[in-house]
Structure 1
Amino acid sequence: MFRGSMVAMITPMTPTGAVDEAALEALVAFHIENGTDAIIAVGTTGESATLSPAEHVHVVKRIITLAQGKIPVIAGTGSNSTQEAIDLTQEALTLGADACLLVTPYYNKPTQEGLYRHFKSIAEAVAIPQILYNVPGRTVADLLPETVERLAPIANIVGIKEATGNLERAREIMQRCGDQLEVYSGDDATAMELILMGGKGNISVTANVVPALMQKMCKAALSGNRAEAEQLDAQMRALHFTLFVEANPIPVKWALAQMGYGHEEGIRLPLTPLSTQHHETVRQAMRMANVQF
């Protein structure tokens, strides 16, 4: 259903922590102009964990309005409360989102049966395309391939963002689910390989900084052009790693601030601005990707 470079977009903020409306508008235009294939609104990178429910809905609504139908908007609506996830997903449908991204429930450590029932309940409650999101490094809960296989026949569960960085895990999901489920990378460092082996795209942090380059790399990989994909990915390689020198989205928000999108102090506690010791490391990675700042 969705293909290519899908940016896990930041939520720009002012130094006081308010949503920076002007920077948000500029960022959506930036991605449209640079060919990004979809915007993920208020996912992990969008600081969903620190936005109030009202702010969460506001930012999703604002991005949909700014996109004007020129680019698909996939709303992050996951929660560790099944009912809250249903409510957010219903709200996203009402607002006009094209799909929803649902992270595995965090903190309360559900069983595989609990994960299955959680996602099944949301899919049955809200008739919108839904993408599962597995990132056990953040949530502790690991959505195993056999559970993904059980969920794949549900019509409006259309894909999974696999953020483990484990290519064998992604391959197993593809083999188990076939055409029933599309697999997307959630790990920039291994995204190219995942797409070349049959994945449909990359839900990307790096694309915040180099949207055109990421879109071209994904397009080359989707067409099976390994040589071109490798050449393009090499330019972003340093960014794939340096944007995680501290917890995401700390480095990427700092990088975007250097480019004029938002403020480097615009991040909410308990996250803090990028430590000074990492500034030059991120700058160097940006230079290697030919970023103008």
Structure 2
Amino acid sequence: MDKNVIIGAMTALITPFKNGKLDEQTYIKLIQRQIAHGIDAVIPVGTTGESATLTHNEHKTCIELAVQTCKNTKVKVLAGAGSNATHEAEDLAKFAQEQGADGILSVTPYYNKPTQTGLFEHYKAIAKSVDIPVLLYNVPSRTACEIATNTAIKLFRECENIYGIKEASGSIDKCVDLLANEPRMIVISGDDAINYPILSNGGKGVISVTSNLLPDKISLLTHQAMEENFKEAKKINDALYQINKILFCESNPIPIKTAMYIAGLIEKLELRLPLCPPSKENFDKIEQTMKKYEIKGF
């Protein structure tokens, strides 16, 4: 299998709710908007999609809807399939493959704090359970668990369908370390504030929160960088700095859902407890920052 499979501008989709339930119609419209504005892949039920508070049925429904909506388009689906229990992650991965997802994104197990040996065995089991590409997801600030460079490289070399890693540690050093030691590995930016530095260092794409709101800008930034038009890419990245910053003023996805609500892209600002709407101060800051950008509708 060609490991260089799912790269480019990718969106970590929000999950819209309406009266406590998954708002399926809005979800479909949001994905169609991503397709229309140049995104290469969508990621249903990642961190931004509130996967931690969805039921398993809701999680699977989101994957189904994403696959159905992207069918017969050039946009790929990289389905969220992570859990703190390996057997649950395997189940989600198998389901994603059965539905026709192009690959899976699997976050490090949260709460358990496994050793590097445990992480290796966890991901090896997930990779063996499916044939589609697997992207590792390193976000230690949320999971209290970090994939060490040597573990990520070992997984890449020993598991045919593990093709790379979404790096959301916020560390440029970690990205340099990975690519210096295994230049064939695909490194994807998982932190909007440093999309350009990662891309200019050899990253092959981004999985963006901001692109829920500004898919056209994130797509342009990513494609310019991947075509080595670094001056133009940096200009776009610099212009996005303020929105990237404000979209993390509270725990993700609180600010991005607030921004989507303000922009009229979702009907209601609903999050699942323990997440809740932002403070009035942050709501106002998000609204003021958004006035500096042209946000395209449906």
Give the TM interval when normalised to the shorter protein. over 0.9
Amino acid at match of 2:87: Q
The aligned counterpart of 2:174 is 169
Asked if the contact 1:254/1:264 (under 8 Å) is kept, the reply is: no
Distance of 2:129 and 2:62 partners within structure 1: 23
Task: Look up the match of 1:113.
Answer: 117
**Distance in 2 of aligned mates of 1:166 and 1:84:** 29
CA distance in structure 1 between the partners assigned to 2:96 and 2:139 by the alignment = 22
- State the Cα distance separating 1:150 from its structure 2 match: 0.8
2:59 is aligned, of 56, 60, 63, to 56
Conserved? CA contact 1:182–1:200, under 8 Å = yes
Q: Separation in 2 of the partners of 1:110 and 1:204? A: 27
Amino acid at match of 1:32: I
Of 213, 218, 228, which aligns to 1:209?
213
Q: Secondary structure at the match of 1:178?
A: coil
144, 147, 153: which one aligns with 1:149: 153
- Describe the superposition over 1:80-127 as per-residue Cα deviations: whole angstroms up to 9, x where unpaired: 100110011000000100000000000010000000110011111211
Q: Report what 2:290 is aligned to.
A: 286
Cα deviations across residues 136-186 of structure 1 (Å, max 9, x unaligned)? 00000010101111101111001100001111100111122221x200010
Report deviation, 1:239: 1.2
Cα shift readout 1:237-290 (whole Å, capped 9, x = no counterpart): 111111111100001011111222223431111100122111221122222222
Equivalent residue, structure 1, for 2:280: 276
Q: Separation in 2 of the partners of 1:289 and 1:201?
A: 23
Q: Secondary structure at the match of 2:183?
A: helix
Structure 1 residue 17 corresponds to structure 2 residue 20 = yes
Give identity over the alignment, percent.
40
Deviation at 1:235, TM superposition (A): 2.0
Which 5+ residue runs of structure 1 have no aligned equivalent? Answer: none
Q: Which runs of 5+ in 2 are unaligned?
A: none
Give the Cα–Cα distance (whole angstroms) in 2 for the partners of residues 215 and 20 of structure 1. Answer: 26
TM superposition score normalised by structure 1: 0.96
Question: Are residues 1:263 and 2:281 paired?
Answer: no
Q: Tell me, in whole angstroms, the C-alpha distance in 2 between the residues paired with 1:24 and 1:265.
A: 14
List structure 1 segments (4+ residues) > 3 angstroms apart after TM superposition. Answer: none
Number of aligned positions between the proteins: 291
Q: Residues 129-278 of structure 1: matches in 2 within 5 Å?
A: 129-153=133-157, 154-179=159-184, 181-278=185-282
SS in 2 for 1:161: strand
Give TM-score scaled by structure 2 length. 0.95
Query: For the residues of structure 1 that align with 2:255 and 2:66, how far apart are their CA atoms?
Result: 22
In structure 2, the partner of 1:67 is 70
Instruction: Select the residue among 100, 123, 146 that pairs with 2:127.
Output: 123
Alignment check: 8 A CA contact 2:138 2:147 kept: yes
Aligned-pair Cα RMSD in Å: 1.2
Alignment partners' CA distance in 2, 1:245 and 1:151: 34
Cα distance in 1, alignment partners of residues 250 and 120 from structure 2: 32
**Displacement after TM superposition at 1:225 (Å):** 1.4
User: How many Å separate the matches in 2 of 1:32 and 1:125?
Assistant: 29
- For 1:147 and 1:263, how far apart are their aligned partners in 2? 43
2:97 aligned with 1:97: no
CA–CA distance in structure 1, aligned partners of residues 296 and 239 of structure 2: 14
User: Matches of 1:263 and 1:271 in 2, distance apart?
Assistant: 18
Task: Give me the whole-angstrom Cα distance separating, in 1, the residues matched to 2:284 and 2:199.
Answer: 31
* TM-fit CA distance, 1:228: 0.4
In the alignment, is the contact (CA less than 8 A) between 1:12 and 1:261 conserved in 2? no
Q: How much does 1:292 deviate? A: 5.8
